[in-house]
Structure 1
Amino acid sequence: MTVARIGIYGLGTMGSALALNMAEHGIDVAISNREVPRINAFMDASGDLSKRLHPHETLAGFVAGLEVPRLVLFMIPSGDAMDEMITRIAPLLDHGDMIIDAGNADFHATRRRAADLARQKLHFVGMGVSGGEQGARHGPSMMVGGSDHSWQQLAPVLSSIAARFRGDPCVALLGPDGAGHFVKTVHNGIEYADMQLIAELHSLLRYGMAWTPPEVADLFTVWNDGPLQSYLVGITANILRASDPDTGHPMIDVIKDSAGQKGTGRWTVIEALCLGQSATMIEAAVAARSWSSEKDTRQTAETVLGGARLGVSLSAETLADAFLAARILAHAQGFRLLSEASDHYDWQLDLARIAEIWRAGCIIRSALLDDIAAAFHDTPKHGELILAPVIAERLGHAIPALRETVAAAVHAGHAVPALSAALAWYDSMRQGFGTANIIQAQRDVFGRHGFQRLGQSGVHHGPWWD
């Protein structure tokens, strides 16, 4: 029996694509799946690559078909399903073998599983995979969390199948235990914000400036050839050119305006708050998706409250600069969260390297990430992306356009929660003296919480009770 270098359990969209990617790169892969008929169907559809794929209907046979030390990659739903499979497979493994969870897992669960399996002398890796089906099949971006020993075993396999940016594989060991899954969670949070920004700009162009979908598509195509180049901008241009084969209408106009979500954006917001941060742009994007699900309520409110949106007059150049400013700020909030988590969990995340492995393969890949990586290599003041000279300069040029765009949208009644959150955060961060003195005084009045005085140490109280 052929001994495979790695095993993949779970032949859904992503697992199947990863297995084919590995096989295409000359790696022998053992495969298995809970539903056995799926195994045979996958083998039949694999063509010439099937010679590198080795199917197993039983878990015992799957484990026996792996080279030692064994590498077992699970691409299954996170949560209870992963815990169940660990319980089933761990007794079949030997000391030094490795379990890899490549799903979108809660990093807290990854940390727990890593600690539990370490006591059994098994390695556990939490690996974020971005790029969707096409990325997994032809080159994803992968964010690995685990031990140095695990990385030494995994690196040859993962580096061979990863996306490449100017020859550099978009995969890296980012830290121990849950680091990889946490970085993937924040990646998805930034993805939420980027998607919402594009949606808001599309809405302004369509309903504020009366552009047709093909006209918006042409603008996005122009943007995709310059500093705003990104995977999401590119696919949105293609979306806006598509026609519904049933009605002949623009495809975008027959899609219900109610967005789904699988939870990773919400996880990002929750973890930001737990760490004393606030990723307001990601929160705005999550909120917008939640509000979108209330279709019936919104339709009623349109009648009761009035839903008219007035026209806006904004140039394409202004919108482009507003988009650039907002995208920079969304990434800055995400990287602030990564930095805070790195300190809290002692992960020692390399922010520049994270930006580098996001430059190809993943959903948020864009030209901007090259600049972000360079900015972090130069170690900006306080570790803040917005304080890096090149980024601060770009913001200085683009913020007036963001301000003009948000003002016009608000005046005309257009909902732009993510664009508004970007501007509010930027203005908050650039004020050396803000508004919290009032809040501290209020807290002292009703709860005697005390406050710090400017230029004096210790805790002080006001004369409210004299």
Structure 2
Amino acid sequence: MSDNAILCDIGFIGLGVMGKNLALNLADNGYTIAAFDLDTEKVASAIKQDELERGDNPQRIFPCTSYTELLSKLTSPHLVILSVPAGRPVDDVCHKLIDAGIQADDIVVDTGNSLWTDTVEREKNFEGNFLFFSTAVSGGEVGARFGASLMPSGDRYAWTRIAPMFKAIAAKVDDATGKPIERHEPGNPVIEGEPCATYIGETGSGHYVKMVHNGIEYADMQLICEAYNIMRTGLNMTPVEIAAIFRKWNEGELHSYLIEISAEVLEHIDPDTNQPLVDIILDKAGQKGTGLWTAVSSLQIGAPSPTITSAVYARALSTLKGERVVASKVLAGPDLSEFNLDKDEVISQLHDALYCSKICAYAQGFQLMSMAGKEHGWNLDFAGIAKIWRAGCIIRAVFLQSITKAYERDEELSNLLIDPFFAGQIAKYQTNWRRTVANSSLMGIPVGAFSSALAYYDSYRSETLPANLLQGQRDFFGAHTFERADKTDGKMYHVEWSQAARPIVKV
């Protein structure tokens, strides 16, 4: 049978690293793909990879040279998946598909890292031309190829049509243990276990949840980096020694993908210098925006997320390398030789600090999603979200099994910190957490994420905060008014401060 006679299940546009691997994942799960990219070499690369992996089996990915040809090779109604850079490229492709003759009941799925508000606008803009749907994807190159965490949102009818496909290519977990079921073998996908793909909700909610996932990822990574820095600077440990500690931690409560890969990074030797590669990598960190978007959203909504925000600031500070080099020669810090630390004790304290801070980072992320859901009318299932993050995504960790159970116990849980399990865990480990923050401060080792997480915890558990004085200040210079603690009617009061007069009700 010739290529022209074959009708494919899915049209795929964008064959970069993520797109190519998603297409191969789909092919492994029995779907035929009509593939297009403006860069014909990327299409050729996907075709070649398909040939190598399928052996003598029938062709699964078919090249297209235009949008019109791509649509002509698809079964009707058409399903087209986009894996193109976020922003204008998504809109450009959608308009090209309209020009090529896409129909109103066809579905176009954006799998890129789009800003959630852009997704909402696109659904409105393209209504009547086709069904615009979005599926946020986490897991990087390997996740795309062998099973990612997928966060779909949008038209419910579209979801019923594409759910079997996404559940097939998603990462899988053993639901009893919460641990990933992984098999990185082309042509032999994991079909057992629970898929890490569930309908998130209305348009934009999936990309919002993915945005918060990335914000938590920023915090988790920064916390690990601060733990590394304490061992490297405060204990003068080598990268290989620190890697061994991380591997040990990975056997318990801190078991996660990020701890695992951190150990691998620390063990890697640079072939050019024969030195630990981590010592050769320049200490300037980049970002693609999702952490920043999370921080901005938390400020806009009023959901306190200081550890996530601190992680974003840490990356910003890292980019000031030139200034930091100058400042290091001008600004004084403590003399580390004065500290006589017990290595094993510090490492034990650090483990507990990382665990408690991680709990707070996730608590902030889930509270942000909860407040955003209420503001935008999204009925988010937090147990379901925790479940699909147990495998495939960057923040996958055994820790998420406990979060799943917390929200299964109480669907209306306002904050993870007050769940009995997590409240008990922090009560058990908080002393070492406090010692880590205190000792790091005394030694002059920056721990913005650790300390912000601790301040968040102490603020959240405080019945009374100094915001009463703050409200008095605001009323003094701006007549902003305040509520009274001895009144329950919600009325606002104001003081004529210059006359020291008694409070009067401000109507």
TM-score category of the 2 structures, normalised to the smaller one:
over 0.9
Greater displacement, 102-111 / 30-39: 30-39
Inter-partner Cα distance in structure 1 for 2:129 and 2:110:
17
CA-CA distance at 1:425 after TM superposition: 0.4
Give the aligned partner of residue 357 of structure 1. 388
1:57 corresponds in structure 2 to 65
Residue 316 of structure 1 corresponds to: 347
1:117 aligned onto 2:121: no
Contact 1:258 1:292 (C-alpha < 8 Å) held by counterparts = yes
Q: 1:6 to 1:316 in 2, by over 3 A?
A: same
Letter matched to residue 63 of structure 2: P
C-alpha offsets along residues 193-251 of structure 1, whole Å, 9 cap, x if unaligned? 00000000000001101111111111100111111000000001111111111111111
Q: Which moved more, 1:418-427 or 1:42-51?
A: 42-51
One-letter code aligned to 2:486? G
Q: Does 1:201 align with 2:222?
A: no
- The 8 Å contact of residues 155 and 202 in structure 2, kept in 1 or not, is answered as yes
Deviation at 1:30?
1.2
How many Å separate the matches in 2 of 1:39 and 1:451? 63
TM-score by structure 1 length? 0.97
Question: Using the alignment, how far apart are the partners of 1:137 and 1:41 within structure 2?
Answer: 15
Provide the residue aligned with 1:274 in structure 2: 300
Aligned residue type for 1:273: L
Instruction: Say if 1:381 and 1:387, in contact at 8 Å, map to a contact too.
Output: no
Seen in structure 2, the aligned counterparts of structure 1 residues 420 and 309 have a Cα distance that, compared at 3 Å, is farther
Counterpart of 1:215 (choices 227, 238, 241) is 241
Could you tell me whether the CA contact under 8 Å between 1:309 and 1:414 is conserved in 2? Answer: no
**More moved, 411-420 vs 59-68:** 59-68
> What's 2:217 paired with?
191
Moved more, 456-465 or 170-179: 456-465
- Is 1:96 aligned with 2:105? yes
Deviation at 1:48, TM superposition (A): 4.0
Question: For 1:169-188, what aligned pairs fall within 5 Å after superposition?
Answer: 169-188=195-214
Question: Which residue of the partner structure matches residue 418 of structure 2?
Answer: 387
The answer to whether the 8 Å contact 2:98/2:129 transfers is: no
Cα 1:309–1:275 shift into 2, 3 Å: farther
> How far apart are the structure 2 equivalents of 1:41 and 1:237?
32
- Is the contact made by 1:380 and 1:388 (CA closer than 8 Å) also made in structure 2? no
Change (3 A) 1:396 1:381: farther
CA RMSD of aligned residues (A): 1.3
* 1:461 equivalent in alignment to 2:470: no
Equivalence for 1:107: 116
- Equivalent residue number for residue 18 of structure 1: 22
**Contact 1:208-1:309 at 8 Å conserved across structures:** no
Normalising by structure 2, what TM-score?
0.90
Can you give the 5+ residue segments of structure 1 that lack an aligned partner in the other structure?
Answer: none
- Aligned counterparts, 1:62-461, within 5 A: 62-91=70-99, 92-118=101-127, 120=128, 122-166=130-174, 167-306=193-332, 310=336, 311=339, 312-313=341-342, 314-379=345-410, 382-456=413-487, 457=489, 458-461=491-494
Tell me if structure 2 keeps the 8 A contact 1:269–1:278: no
Matched position secondary structure for 1:305: coil
Contact 1:381–1:388 under 8 Å retained in 2:
no
Once residues 463 and 412 of structure 2 are traced to their aligned partners in structure 1, the CA distance between those partners, rounded to angstroms, is: 15
Mark the structure with the bigger radius of gyration.
2
Identity %, equivalent residues = 39
* Alignment partners' CA distance in 2, 1:133 and 1:317: 34
In the TM superposition, what is the alpha-carbon distance from 1:121 to its structure 2 partner? 5.0
More displaced stretch, 9-18 vs 206-215 = 206-215
Aligned residues: 465
TM-superposed CA distance for 1:117, in Å, is 1.8
> Does the aligned pair in 2 maintain the 1:18–1:136 contact within 8 Å?
yes
* Structure 1: distance between partners of 2:201 and 2:38: 31
Q: 1:146 and 1:399 mapped to 2: Cα distance?
A: 41
Structure 2 Cα separation of the partners of residues 399 and 86 of structure 1 = 52
